[in-house]
Each structure stands twice: as C-alpha cells, then as structure tokens.
Structure 1
C-alpha cells in the first residue's frame, strides 16, 4: 500500500504543473493585482475537501486526532513561512513541482527547505522548535467544541459556492492563444489551458483519497509536504529506511508527475538563476523549513488540509501565511512599492508567470 503514496504524488504533481496551481501566486495576486480568482480556487479545494473529509470521518472510514493549538508557533511560523515563500518563489508544493520543470532556483530552495525542516524536527534546532511550540491553547477543532461538523462544512460550502458563482459571472478575459498542435485527450492533457476551478476540483479529489490510502499504511493524515521533505533528507543522510513512508513517496511523486507533465507539454527546460535569486532561494528555503515546522505545516498541510478539518491551527496559519505573503510582496516584489529590495528584485517574468 505504501506505493500508493507515489501514485498519488505523481497525479498531484501532474495536476499542479498542468493547472499552474500556485498557492504563492494565489495569495500574492490578491495583494498585487486585487485578483481573487486563484484565491477562490484555493478556497474551493478546501470546501470540496471538507465535504469529503467530514463524510469519511462520520462513516468511520478515517480516524484523525488533533493536539492543543501551539498558538505562538502557528502565528510566528505562519508569518515567516508566508514571507519566505515570496523569497523562494514558491511554497512547498510549488517548489517541488517547479523543480520538476527544471527551475534550478527551486532546486536550491527545495534543498534548504529540507535542511530547515530536518534541523527543526530532528537536528540542532529541535530545542528551539519545541520551545516555540510549547505555548499552547487548549483548543483543537471547531467540531471539538461540541458543534456538528456538518455546520461549518455546509457554511463553508455555501460561502465558497457564492464566491465561485460570482467569479464565473465575470466576463472572461480574451487571451491570444496559438493554434493547437494536438487533438483529443492529448490536447486536453498537455496543451489546453486548464481553468483554475477545474484544477481545484481535481486537487480536491486527490486530497480526499489521500486520507484512506495514507491511513491504510498507518499514517493518519491528509496531504503533507514539510515532514516528508525533512524525512527524505534524513533518509539520504542516515540511510535509515524507517524515514521512508507514504508521505515521502508522495513528495517524490510530485517531482515525477510534474516532470512528466512539463516534458510532455514542452514546458521543461533548465533555467539557471542569477546570484541574487540564489541568495533569495537559500534564505526562502530555510525560512520555509523553519516556519512550517513552527506552524505545524505549510500552505498545504495547514492552510489547505487542516482548514478542511476545521482545526484552529489550520485557519490561523492560513491567515498569517496570507499576511506573510503580503508583507513579503510589499518588501521584495518590485512594482508594488516602487523600490528595490536589499536582496535584489524579482524579475518581471517571475511576477508575470506567477512562479510558484
């Protein structure tokens, strides 16, 4: 069953790459362009996933547990993670799937993300991590307060449904496209531009099936990136097979799936960053690893998965990661403030493409 992690990861990486699903860009576009299309798509993933997760829990198919809220770690870590993903040019999944496209800057960020996560969870910074996460509040989830899980699930579904409806009512932007070279399924898979909401629906399905497949191997959790990334580094350094689990195969699969999608669509190419971007990738990667460890998860594990479980950790970290992206955007992205950051500027291509 552990190999299902690899298969889910391949599907996840493929959809992320072809759908251009970039959480960093979704958050950043709200601050830069006042555009909420991708943020709505992100919320759609949470809403659909919430329906699936609530159903699975109520049917007794999956069994989840939560710990008291490490409020200081979630706030500080979430803010740091948000700033760091702007520096790195992408969040956890964004760094993995852009690595599969040949973006060397993402390779660098990914290595240092793994270093930061491993140091906080297993290495020299364990004490720091435990200290920051020792400040806790005795709350876990909204349903744990005695509220039926269906109440927040239905409320979220209705709110997000209204947001999606409003987005779909807006006039579609006309974008010049090249004449298609492929036909049929090949065109749809490797050439056609995917609508953000279609991509969100596909990711939702992947997120939901993750729970029972992962639980079958003893891992009681949904999609997660930070701990598996740190575990992968620990395995590479120590050679201990105990670090290889369903989650590790998931993140490896993201890289494989993204490469397959990028190669088949003609979007794979090696892109070497300049010196300034290397510095940003290193700083951003380390900040991602540290911030996600303090917060207990990244934009996927916390802001997309824990939120679907209606945990306080998920929604608070979502807020502070979003604020962190706003802060990072204001400081580091040229054009928003009209000045150059001390570390240099993000290229206009990076901002325009919404590099994740």
Structure 2
C-alpha cells in the first residue's frame, strides 16, 4: 500500500475519531462516508460530466447509461424519504432548485471550465486526491474561482428564475418514482441507438486483471458497482446530515477563510451575509458538513490510488496544461458557485423570509377596514366585510334599484338573501360554513338599511309574495312622499344651512366616538338602553291596541305582518332618537315616545 496509503488510512481513522469527539458523532461518520465516496469514485473512475463529454464527442453511451441507472436507484431510495420529510426519525430535505438565467450562465461557464480543467467537481477532487498534480492545480484555482463567484453573488441571484419544482410534490413519491425511471430509460435507449448507429455495437465493460476481494480493494470497479456504491453512500449522507451529498460550497468556504487570513474581508459580500453562510464563515471548517466530506473524499481517493499502486504524482506538467488547469479551475469555481447559488437563491430567499416571519411570532390580525357603508353587496360580501372590518355596516344607497335588481336579489339568491338579512335584523350571529372561506361565527354585528328607490322599482319588488312571506318588508319603514314636481321654484328662495350644518356636526361627533367593542374579536359590546317605567307602560298599551286591531275584520287585519312589528319598531326608533340627542343616555323617556315634534307623531305613523 505504501506510505501515502498508510497515511491516508491513518487520517481517515484518526480524523473520524477526532471529529466525533470534537464536532459530534455525525461529523465523524460523514468524514468516513466521504472516504468511502473517494474510494468509490477513484476505483470506478466515475465522472458525472465526463460521461456526457464522451457521448457527445465519441457517441459512446456506457457511462451515461450507468448514470441513468444511478439516478433511477436514487429516486427509488430518496423520493419516499423526501416526500415524508423524515428518515429514521430525523428531518431531511432535498436540494430543490429552480432553473433560471443564472443557472444557464453558470452551466455554460462550468462546461468550458470542465473541458479545460480536465474534470467536474467530484472528478477534480478524487483525481487530485489520487495524486494527479495537474488536477491539484485545477483544484486550487477551483477554490479561487468559487470565492470570486461569491463576490458577484447578489447580481447573479437577482436574475429571473422559475419556481422550483420537485416531482414528489405534485405527483407524490410514487408518481415521481414512476415518471423518473421512464425519463432515464428513454435517455438510455437514445444512447444505445446513437452508439449502434455509429459503432455497430455497444461498448462492453473492459476485463479486469483482478477478481474477487482484490478487485474491490485495489480496483478497477465496474461502473455499475461504483454507481450502486455512490447511491448507497449518498443515502447515508441524507440519513446522517439531513440533506444530500454536495461538494462545491466547501471550496468557497475554504477560499473565504484563506482570504480572511491574508487580510481580505469577505463579509462585505452579499453571499457571506446570508445567515447560514455567515455562520459557516465564523465557525470551524470542521463543523461544515460539505468540507468534512470533501476532506474524506481526498483521503479516500489517496487510499484507493495507493491500493491500486497508482499514486505517483508528477510535477512535470507542460506550460499549456498548467495554463489550461488555471483557467479551467477558475471557470469551474466561478461557474459552479453562480450555478448553485442562482439555483438555490430563489427557494432559500423564500425559506429565509419564512424563517424571519416565524421568528416574529404569530401573524397579527389585519387592521379592520374602515368602510361603514356599502351599496349593493351580496350576502357573502357582506359577511366578509363583517369578518374583516367594522362590526356595524349600513346598506345605504340613493339608487336602491342597484341592490334590489342586483345579484343578491336575483331569482336564484333572493330567498337566501332575505332570510339572512332577517337574521341580521334580529341580531342573530352570522354563521358561515364554506369550503373556500372556511367556517366562522360572528357575534354582535349590526346592520342598518336605507334605500331610496323609484316607485316603479319598489312596487315590483314589493309585489313579490316572498318579500312579505319571509317577513322582510315588515321589518322596513316604507314611505312614499308626495311628488314636489311643479313646486321646486328657485327665485326668491333664501337658503339657510344652519339646520343641515347642525345635523352634519352631530353625525360627525357620533361617528368619531369609539365603538363599544372588543378590539380582538371586533364584537360589539353595546350597553343596555332601558325603557323608563312609564315608557314601558306606554309602549305596552300601544302594543295591545295594535294587537287587537289585527283581529279578523280589525283595522290592521290586512297588514298583520307590519302591525305585529309596530311596537318593536317604535322601541327602535325611540332608542335612536334618544342616543342621537345624548350618547350617554341610560333610558328612553316617555317624552321621546310621545314627542310629536320629533316623531310627528311617532306611534300612529308606525302603521
């Protein structure tokens, strides 16, 4: 195995123990998983992007077909866990990323860097660990490029991007499992057809000089074996760390820490001001999951190269190759950083915003709308106003035909609306049970109505038996004043606004008085306006007289619906007149009930 392999084995053993003792058992386990990934990548010579390069340049698709197998196995293992959000009792999450302009630009830069640098992120890491000096140069400048990518993070993150979508969300885990292998299988079939058209036959795995345990220890592994190992190890990463395996974020962290060491402050860059990145920059590099696993991959690849007898670094690198490694590394790092962060930024900004909102505590209730009047509401709209706004509303309109001829009073909705308004007139709670709006009950809401309607419109509405049978019309005080046409003369008229201004001032004072209500539930808490004893007696006498007049053949026998509510209407109007004069009045006096000047006279006109 040699000295490098022994050193790598010692590092893996002691590193696992040291990390477990200082950073927790999980970090120690992840370092060991990283070592196993390094061995798997090296022995299987598994490159994710190199398989696509080989297919594009040479039409050989064996590597791509193995990748499709790897992805299909990963979907079967990962989707159920990610959809449930837990694995072995631990919370897990996927890296769900949206496509956007930043992703396209980052992928393009990364692709060029991969060709110049000689490998992708995992390929760079395991070949550098395996003793390839040129790839070590690529790795160094990969780190530099990653830091440069964080400098411009804000700009790349601001570019347009689509919403992130995970197949297990719209389709469910089993729907995603069914669809994904179908896509992977189609890609595999395409590679087979292209390869046969160009070469006549499919490429076969090369024969290995080693067999049995010697092959698994010293390599080379079959590609399928490497794919299975990578899936299993990635699943272990998910189970231990709560997220899938990643590589490149550690390079930016290493570079930022080196920048700090030489006097450059990266905390001024937007990338390092994000909470998770700022915390990683302040903490030990050994507390970072990705860094620990990357260290393990390097050690594991070194051990694998030593076991295979191929660990032999050579510093004899042509200048052109060095330049290509430098430029390729820079582009790999820069492209990978903007690619990953452009993908993550939209979802992570949303997650960060949700976390910030959660930290503020329970969402406060929206301030109530200040609307006091509406003109032509539906009952649903009215209840929404009561739920979101003030506990008192008025349906006031000088074009009442809009309400009477509107949607709420259409033939399909009239009975429902009339019954609901009757309930409000009686002061009953508003109860709503609807799938879209949810269920709620509103107590202590009050509604007033004042509609001015053209006589023809009013007569058409009043002629509908439903308006009387439901008791709706008897709840109104209906009047038709005589027409003033022919008497509206302007010459010689003297205007005196004193009465109107006094009315306006009183109305303003009442409206500016705070409502007696619970501020949390917005339920009215009205005080009791009692009837003075003599007032009660007067009202009882009036009620009895009207009741007797409803007997068959009596004066009010033809309008019993209206007559039955006359006493209640009298009490309501007397109460309004009382508080109009004095909001703090404690009872309704006999004088108010009898006062002809205000009521003109009140009781007889109620019928």
Q: TM-score, with normalisation over the residues of structure 1?
A: 0.72
Where does residue 205 of structure 1 map in the other structure?
A: 232
Do the aligned partners of residues 158 and 280 (structure 1) sit closer, same or farther apart at CA in structure 2, a change above 3 Å counting?
Answer: same
Q: Distance in 2 between matches of 1:243 and 1:174?
A: 40
Counterpart pick for 2:298 among 250, 255, 268: 255
Alignment partner of 1:155 is 2:175: no
Q: Distance in 1 between matches of 2:297 and 2:205?
A: 31
TM-superposed CA distance for 1:8, in Å, is: 1.1
TM-superposed CA distance for 1:5, in Å, is: 2.0
Q: Distance in 2 between matches of 1:199 and 1:184?
A: 15
Q: Distance in 1 between matches of 2:333 and 2:40?
A: 24
Q: Distance in 2 between matches of 1:117 and 1:294?
A: 8
Q: Distance in 1 between matches of 2:260 and 2:28?
A: 22
Alignment partner of 1:34 is 2:59: yes
Q: Distance in 2 between matches of 1:227 and 1:36?
A: 30
Counterpart pick for 2:289 among 246, 249, 252: 246
Instruction: Please say which structure displays the higher CA radius of gyration.
Output: 2
Q: Distance in 1 between matches of 2:295 and 2:155?
A: 31
Alignment partner of 1:133 is 2:162: no
Task: Tell me if structure 2 keeps the 8 A contact 1:118–1:230.
Answer: yes
Deviations along 1:32-82, whole A, 9 cap, x unmatched? Answer: 110111011122222211221112123422432667736111001011101
Q: Distance in 2 between matches of 1:138 and 1:175?
A: 43
Where does residue 279 of structure 1 map in the other structure?
A: 323
Name the SS of the counterpart of 2:172 in structure 1: coil
Do the aligned partners of residues 83 and 118 (structure 1) sit closer, same or farther apart at CA in structure 2, a change above 3 Å counting?
Answer: same
Deviations along 1:250-278, whole A, 9 cap, x unmatched? Answer: 01111000000000111111133210011
Do the aligned partners of residues 247 and 142 (structure 1) sit closer, same or farther apart at CA in structure 2, a change above 3 Å counting?
Answer: closer
Q: Distance in 2 between matches of 1:120 and 1:137?
A: 18
More helix by share: 1
Alignment partner of 1:188 is 2:216: yes
Higher relative contact order (CA 8 A, sep 6+): 1
Counterpart pick for 2:246 among 198, 217, 224: 224
Do the aligned partners of residues 20 and 175 (structure 1) sit closer, same or farther apart at CA in structure 2, a change above 3 Å counting?
Answer: closer
Where does residue 109 of structure 2 map in the other structure?
A: 80
Unmatched tracts of structure 2, length 5 or more: 1-25, 262-281, 345-607
Counterpart pick for 2:131 among 88, 99, 102: 102
Do the aligned partners of residues 265 and 229 (structure 1) sit closer, same or farther apart at CA in structure 2, a change above 3 Å counting?
Answer: same
Q: Distance in 2 between matches of 1:66 and 1:184?
A: 37
Q: Distance in 1 between matches of 2:110 and 2:100?
A: 15
Q: Distance in 1 between matches of 2:163 and 2:205?
A: 48
Name the SS of the counterpart of 1:206 in structure 2: helix
TM-superposed CA distance for 1:138, in Å, is: 4.5
Q: Distance in 2 between matches of 1:42 and 1:292?
A: 20
TM-superposed CA distance for 1:92, in Å, is: 0.6
